[in-house]
Amino acid sequence: MLTALKGNILEALSPDILGVHPNSYLVLENGAVVGIYPDLPENMAEASVEDYGDALILQSFADMHLHGPQYEFMGTGMDKPLLQWLESYAFPTEERYADPAYARDHYRILAEDLIRNGTTRVAMFSSLHTDSTLILMEELEKAGVTGYVGKVNMDRNAPPYLCETTEESEQETLRWLEASKAFTLVKPILTPRFAPSCTERLLAFLGRLKAERDLPVQSHLSENLGEIALVGELFPDCRQYWEVYDKYGLFDGRTLMAHCVHSDERERAAMKLRGVHPVHCASSNNSLMSGISPVAQMLREGQSVCLGSDVSGGTTLSMLRTMANSICAAKDRGSMMQDTAQVISIEQAYYMATSAGQSFMGYKTGFTAGERLHAVVLDDTGLPKLPNITLRERLIRAVYRLDDRHIRAVYSEGVRRL
């Protein structure tokens, strides 16, 4: 069945190239992209057209780092740096997800909120609880959110109520991977919480599992100075933080590393060489006073940087806000260093919020023929009609000024979900 969306179509073709298609048709066959046309081709004349008028049709968003069980306390606990914040807020909240019924209620609301915000792809941390992790995967899939979810591994440096023995962590990871086969749109990703939470034995186990089953990995890297010092004490044989993950085979092209705020040239070169994907989380870096990531430098060096909300170190689920926050953070870094090369462009922000995550998941960039549609329709027509405003400028304005109230439609895997 042929269908088409009509409107102003914008795609992130590369970190520097915005594909702009004014007043065009995005044609689909059974939910999969056929192509983008200024006029409906004759042989597609029978397509039923959903006309979004002067609205903007964007790729939907990929939030490549957030914590499902932390969603409920977003916007609270704003007064501590990372390690104290984990002890005071994150760990006690995550404990509640030992109860599957509690998890079900909260994860259902989270999944709906993601779709309402136009986020159809995620890489998400659950808690260490296997059954609740499976519930999270189920609720996301039901709502139309695709991507990766990880059962968190943590067998040390955690309070007794939120800590596994190494054996438990290994066995539960295997049980979770087995049960995850039930899902098609949401896949498992190995998730050592961060180096300090895992013994070397557990990291070695996860590295072997990754190699045997060709699994992706997500974790945190060089977020905060106290954390980096702790890693130095716990792993004295590793010169830098990244070497802990690398030592155990957890640092390659299928790895997401959240933050990388304090990654120096050597650490960034290692990420680039291995193809590791840094995930920039500007809101969280601000809230937890972690620092300002050298994201422009990473992009210049050719790294595949993604964006993450890092809910609830971060204070918003909106990837529009997350893009704006990343642009603002880069400008703050630029003004602090008196260096305009620290600034990032709208092309880079939009790419990091969409195509970068898409490509981590094995898809091409932009709206690619043959792939099922992931799109969001943003209605900015209530804003002033400025003379001669370009679609690129309207995208910038949308990032700064619009939110979920302006999202008119969301498509995931070719199906309209909102």
Asked if 413 touches Fe ion (CB under 5 A), the answer is no
Question: End-to-end distance of the chain based on CA atoms, in angstroms?
Answer: 20
Please say which residue, 18 or 66, places its beta carbon nearer to ligand GUN. 66
Give the other-Cβ count within 10 Å of 184's Cβ.
9
Q: Which does 205 bind (CB under 5 to 8 A by kind): Fe ion, ligand GUN, none?
A: none
- Return left, alpha or beta for 185; rule: phi > 0 is left, psi -120 to 50 is alpha, else beta: alpha
Give the other-Cβ count within 10 Å of 275's Cβ.
13
Cβ 322 to ligand GUN shortest distance, Å: 14
Q: d(Cα 37, Cα 178) in Å, to the nearest integer?
A: 44
β-strand partners of 51: 6
Among residues 90, 122, 136, 271, which is the contact residue for ligand GUN, using CB under 6 A? Answer: 90
Among residues 86, 346, 356, 378, which is the contact residue for ligand GUN, using CB under 6 A? Answer: 86
∠ CA 16-22-26, rounded to 5°: 90
CB 63 within 8 A of CB 122: yes
User: Helix, strand or coil for residue 128?
Assistant: coil
**Which stretch in 2-10, 103-111, 236-244, 307-315 sits in contact with Fe ion by CB under 5 A?**
307-315
Phi, psi of 119 (to 5 degrees): -95, 115
Cβ 390 to Fe ion shortest distance, Å: 36
* Count, residues near ligand GUN per rule CB under 6 A: 11
Interface characters, 209-228, with ligand GUN (x: CB under 6 A): -----------x--x-----
Q: d(Cα 332, Cα 314) in Å, to the nearest integer?
A: 17
The H-assigned helical ranges of 18-99 are 82-85, 91-95
Asked if 284 touches ligand GUN (CB under 6 A), the answer is yes
Please say which residue, 124 or 410, places its beta carbon nearer to ligand GUN. 124
DSSP 398-411: HHHH--GGGEEEEE
User: Helix, strand or coil for residue 172?
Assistant: helix
Asked if 94 touches Fe ion (CB under 5 A), the answer is no
User: Helix, strand or coil for residue 372?
Assistant: strand
Asked if 333 touches ligand GUN (CB under 6 A), the answer is no
Please tell me whether the peptide bond between 48 and the residue prior to it is cis, using omega within 30 degrees of 0: no
Interface characters, 58-77, with ligand GUN (x: CB under 6 A): ---------x----------
Task: Record the tokens describing residue 134, joined without a space.
Answer: 């499976």
Cβ 114 to ligand GUN shortest distance, Å: 18
Q: d(Cα 216, Cα 360) in Å, to the nearest integer?
A: 10
Q: Which does 148 bind (CB under 5 to 8 A by kind): ligand GUN, Fe ion, none?
A: none
CB 308 within 8 A of CB 65: yes
**Which stretch in 82-90, 102-110, 135-143, 179-187 sits in contact with ligand GUN by CB under 6 A?**
82-90
Among residues 11, 138, 172, 310, which is the contact residue for Fe ion, using CB under 5 A? Answer: 310
Q: d(Cα 364, Cα 40) in Å, to the nearest integer?
A: 24
Q: Which does 380 bind (CB under 5 to 8 A by kind): ligand GUN, Fe ion, none?
A: none
Among residues 63, 310, 379, 380, which is the contact residue for ligand GUN, using CB under 6 A? Answer: 310
Asked if 162 touches ligand GUN (CB under 6 A), the answer is no
Closest residue to Fe ion in the complex (CB): 310
Among residues 148, 176, 194, 248, which is the contact residue for ligand GUN, using CB under 6 A? Answer: 194
Interface characters, 231-270, with ligand GUN (x: CB under 6 A): ----------------------------------------
Asked if 227 touches Fe ion (CB under 5 A), the answer is no
**Can you give the binding site for Fe ion, defined by CB under 5 A?**
258, 310
